[in-house]
Structures are given as C-alpha cells and as structure tokens.
Amino acid sequence: MNRKWVCNLLADFSHPPWTKSLDRVVYMSIGKGGEEQIPFHAYVQPNDTCTVKAHHNATFWSFSRFPEEIQLHILAMCPASTLFQLMHTSSKLRIEASKQFWANPNVYFYVLEKWLMDKAYQGDTLWDVSFLAQVQNVEVGYSLDIDERIYRQQNGRVEIESNLADIFWASLKDRIPNVKRVILNQHSGTRKMGDVLLAMQLLVEASPPGVECSILITEEKQTSESTPWNTDTFQRCLIQPKEQGVWEKRKPGKFRETVLPPPKKFEGPVGRFMELLYQFGWKIPPQRSGLLLLMVEALDRHHFDMGQHEPFSCPFSSCTAYFSNGGEWTIHAAEKHYHDWEKLPEYLPNSSAGTDLRERIQALDRKRREVREQFQKIRDAWRTSHEARRREMKYSMIEQLANDPSWETEEKGEKHWVWEEFLRAVSIVKVGIWSSVML
C-alpha cells in the first residue's frame, strides 16, 4: 500500500471506547485507497441490539399507538437494518421507512467513474443496476489512471472533454434518477494531483441542477516536511463549490459510510464465469484486507478493552514501540507497519476473539480455494475440449451476451468485453486479475 493512504486506514479503524463487535463484516480494498466499504447485505443485516423481528408484534402494537409525529421521529432514529426490515414487513410503515432508508445523508452507494463514462450499460457492471434507481447519494470511485480521458492539456491550459462530462452526468441521471448528492472520491492512482483536481472541478461544474456535488481527495499537508517514511504528511480533504468560482475545502465528516450495491444475479454460462470475477475482484480480497483491520483492533482490545489495562510491546520483532494506552497500537500499526500487515495473523491473541478471527481467515481461504477450483474446471473444460465442443461453449456464451439484458453493452458478439475476458482467463499466458487467481 502507498503511504499516502494511511490517513484512510486511520479513519477505518475503530478507536476506544470500542462499541462495535469484532465479528462484524468489514470490506477494505487496498487497491482503492484502503477505505472501508460495506457490502449491502451487511449494511442491512440486523445486529443483536436492533432486532425488531423477535418482538415485532408487541413492539409494533405499542408503536402504532403513538401519534404520527412521534412515529416519524422514532423512525428517523432507526438504524438502516430496522428500516429495511420495516420496508419489507410493515404495510403501514413501508413508505415512510423507505423514505428514511434512502435519504440518510451519511450513506453513499458506490459506483465506478469508468462505468458512467462508458454510458453505464447494465452489461458493463457487476452491480444490480435496478437497485440504483432508488439511490439518492452516490460515491463515484474516481481513478487518476483513467482520467486522462476526461481532460487534456493544451498550451499550458487544462481542458475538459465536455462530451465525456455530458455522458458522465447523463448516465448518472439515467441510472440513478433520484440522485441528490454525489462525491467524486479519488482513491487510486499515483499521478500528481494539481491538474487532476482541476479536471475534477470542471466535472463538478458540469453537474446538473439539483445535484449537490463534492470532491474527496488525498493531499499532502502543506505545513509538514515530507520524508519517505513520514505517513503523517497526507490528509483527506472534501472540496465543494460555493459561489461562482469559489471552492471550499474542509476535513470530511467522520460519519460517511460507503455501501457497495448488491451484485446482479449471475445466471447461465456467462453468470457462472462472471461470478468468479466478482468473487476475485470485489469479494474475497476486500474481505481478506478487512480481516487485517479487525486483527489490529483485536490485539488492542485484548490488552485495553472491558476494563483491562495491560501495556504491551509492538509484536513486530524489529520494532521497540511500547503501548501504555488503548488505541496507541492501532495508530502505530497503521502508521509504521502498513506495508507489513500480512504478518498480523501471527500476532493474534490467544483469546476467543483471536480464535474467531483465525477461523474467519481459514473460512475465507477455503472459499478462495473453492472458487479457484471452479475457475480451473471452466478453464480445463475449454482447454481440453475438441473444436466442436469449444464452438458450442462459445455459442452459448455469445448467445446469452446478445440476448440477456443484464449483459447489454455497446460492443457485441466476439467484441463483448465479457467474451474477451473469458479468452484472457482461459489463455495459457496469465494476465490481469487471472494471474492472481492462480497463485
């Protein structure tokens, strides 16, 4: 991981007093700046303290006797999981619960900039596109490595490709018609910020009326002296347009959550193959990285949670740091050992929390092996088949790509990206994501 993303890790961590359970689901993608992302199924999963199902009848009976104004007030305080349950179980509260669920200003649903730039075809994403129709707050993952498409430098000036900006906003309004807030979150790429920020600002200026748009970037602090190992020199900034030509820069709020939309239904021969890509691209690696965050927290809590106070030394053998208070180890692990986290499983405490995390790592490793075996079966079936059988396999995929609306995109037939991805996956030369699948 690049040291500039350490500020994201610090924001991901739970710090004392710890209020969340260690058995929660955490997704974190190192390739996307190390920010925590919550899969939709975990976002709407009730936890032990907010289950309405068990006492649903009695609770609802009391609740329904309150005046409407009080009912709405109570709903506004309900967690997403409760609102989601009410949307599916209560005919009386469905509409109001749904309004509250989608309007939460601290929750943003994630899509990729590239998808919007490419006209947001259903077939170009692995998310369930119909779900996005309800969404009001959108976080757009903005990669510096592809934004050369948006802007160009000419005679020392930066110019935006207005055509692409129009496509971007038209796609967004078309797929997410209820959109009210957009954050362009720059969280990958290594190129210099200057011109890129200007390009992002031009994109914001092209936003349609009624959409509040802001930019989230990681920038070098101007006051600190940067040294190669000083992670403290980077910070996250939220930039918003004010009056004409004036931009306000401030620290982002602490409470924003990024939720990954649910995946599309993976059906048929295309679905069987693409689900593997989803598992290897969007599910297993971020779960694995999320467990590393929980491992850091588990060691801290083993020494300083639930009334314990047991100072301890840094478990990394080359380090002499000593932690006298809860939370110190967590910050230290992010700032000093972010490049060496693969060793963390060795330092898990011998406690039930440590055992649970070890079991979760093993379960994820089993899942990875299982998905890899499925991939090997598909690859071997292709490689060992005679020409006629290969033609059949190709026909079944190309036919589904042509007729299944969930895979509709601009390029058709053999030029469809899914078919090209399939050929890359089954080829002898390992490329792209498929080279890591076979490790």
Residues that bind Zn ion (CB under 5 A): 314, 316, 319, 321
- Scan for tokens 């592809």, then name that residue: 146
Min dist. Cβ of residue 230 to Zn ion (A): 15
Strand partners, 182: 138, 213
* Residue closer to Zn ion, measured from CB, 176 or 296: 296
Q: Are 314 and 27 in contact (CB under 8 A)?
A: no
Min dist. Cβ of residue 323 to Zn ion (A): 9
Min dist. Cβ of residue 112 to Zn ion (A): 35
**Residue 413, SS3 per DSSP:** helix
Tokens for 404?
A: 């299944």
Q: How far is CA 41 from CA 46, 88, 259, in A?
A: 10, 15, 9
Q: How far is residue 341's CA from residue 299's CA, in Å, rounded to a whole number?
A: 13
- In 3D space, the residue among 333, 340, 341 whose CA is nearest the CA of residue 303 turns out to be 333
* Residue closer to Zn ion, measured from CB, 261 or 349: 349
* Residue closer to Zn ion, measured from CB, 238 or 321: 321
* Residue closer to Zn ion, measured from CB, 88 or 339: 339
Min dist. Cβ of residue 329 to Zn ion (A): 8
Min dist. Cβ of residue 310 to Zn ion (A): 17
Min dist. Cβ of residue 221 to Zn ion (A): 23
Q: Alpha helix locations (H) across 141-278? A: 162-175, 193-205, 268-278
- In 3D space, the residue among 242, 271, 180, 253 whose CA is nearest the CA of residue 216 turns out to be 253
Q: Angle at CA 423, nearest 5°, toward 417 and 424?
A: 85
Q: How far is residue 128's CA from residue 135's CA, in Å, rounded to a whole number?
A: 12
266-273: long-range contacts, CB 8 A cutoff, minimum separation 24: 267/404, 268/396, 268/400, 268/404, 269/393, 269/396, 269/397, 269/400, 270/397, 270/400, 270/401, 270/404, 270/407, 270/418, 272/374, 272/378, 273/378, 273/397, 273/418, 273/422, 273/425
Starting at the edge strand found earlier in the chain, the sheet holding 247-250 runs: 27-29, 35-39, 257-260, 107-112, 137-143, 181-188, 212-220, 234-241, 247-250
* Residue closer to Zn ion, measured from CB, 66 or 322: 322
Tokens for 421?
A: 């991805």
Min dist. Cβ of residue 321 to Zn ion (A): 4
* Residue closer to Zn ion, measured from CB, 215 or 333: 333
* Residue closer to Zn ion, measured from CB, 319 or 402: 319
Q: How far is residue 215's CA from residue 203's CA, in Å, rounded to a whole number?
A: 10
Min dist. Cβ of residue 331 to Zn ion (A): 11
Q: Are 108 and 129 in contact (CB under 8 A)?
A: no
Q: How far is residue 159's CA from residue 156's CA, in Å, rounded to a whole number?
A: 10
* Residue closer to Zn ion, measured from CB, 322 or 395: 322
* Residue closer to Zn ion, measured from CB, 169 or 338: 338
> Residue 412: how many CB atoms within 10 A of its CB?
12
* Residue closer to Zn ion, measured from CB, 163 or 318: 318
Q: How far is residue 44's CA from residue 263's CA, in Å, rounded to a whole number?
A: 15
Min dist. Cβ of residue 337 to Zn ion (A): 6
Min dist. Cβ of residue 342 to Zn ion (A): 15
Min dist. Cβ of residue 223 to Zn ion (A): 26
* Residue closer to Zn ion, measured from CB, 87 or 314: 314
Q: How far is residue 384's CA from residue 373's CA, in Å, rounded to a whole number?
A: 16
